[in-house]
Structure formats: C-alpha cells, structure tokens
A = this chain, B = another copy of it.
C-alpha cells in the first residue's frame, strides 16, 4: 500500500521539526546543571541578559530574550523569590520596572561559568559544526523577526 503523504508534509523533510526538537532536547540537557542552582533554562537566559545589562527595564529584557511581559512578569517574580534579582519601579518614570541584580544574583554568574563548557563536553558534538550552526542561526533569526513584524 502506497502512502500518499506529499513530500513536503513528511516529518523528515521539515526544517522546523528538528529545530523544535533540538531546542527542547538542549533545554533538557541544561536542566541537569541548572536545577541544582534552582533555575530553569528560560530563567538562565534572563540572568545572562541581566549579568550584562542590569539594572535593566523589563521591556529591554524582553527585547533581548524575545519574550513579552506575560511570560516575563511571572518568571521575574520567581527569580525575585529565589533572591537573585530585585524589581523596582523607576522613580523618573513610574511605568518602568527596573530589574536589579542582588549579590546572590551576581554570585550565581560564577556558579554558572562552567555550564556552557560542561554542556559542550557532555555531548561530543564537533566544535566546527557548532560554530557553523550558530552562524546560520544568527543569520536566520533577524529574518524571522522581520517576517513577524509584517
């Protein structure tokens, strides 16, 4: 019996599926290393942004992480409960909530320093492939952002 599914609807021919699957698998890999620190992968992304830019408005965190406040507000509240950040209204513009790093939040950076390296070690994927993949994704990302603005 032949299968009439057209080629373009076969799972193995999709670009999006391996992207979607790889993203989830990597999040699982991170979990083992981030769970002892009490944070999730999306929280880790937000912390990376804050380690570079804090103090930083919620809006600016969202712009870099490509996340809206409906995702960020509860996530930031959880980070605040953990004691890693402080949320504080900006005096000069009361609409803005600025995110500040606490001492624990800054200290967390040192405890995370080995995570990216350890992760690369754990799955032996060749370094040149990683670089190639990253270059392609960095090219794709702005294109995707643009087509969502239309």
Report A's interface with B, CB cutoff 8 A.
Answer: 3, 5-6, 8-11, 14-30, 41, 45, 48-49, 51-52, 64-66, 109, 112-113, 116-117, 122-125, 129-130, 132-134, 136-141, 143-148
Contacts and interface: CB of A to CB of B under 8 A. Distances in A.
A129 B139 contact: yes
Copies of this protein in the assembly total 2
A129 B23 CA distance: 19
Interface residue SS majority, chain A: helix
Contacts of A148: 25, 28-29
A13 B42 CA distance: 16
Given A28-B148, A48-B14, A109 B23 contact: no
Contact of A133 (B6, B23, B30, B137): B137
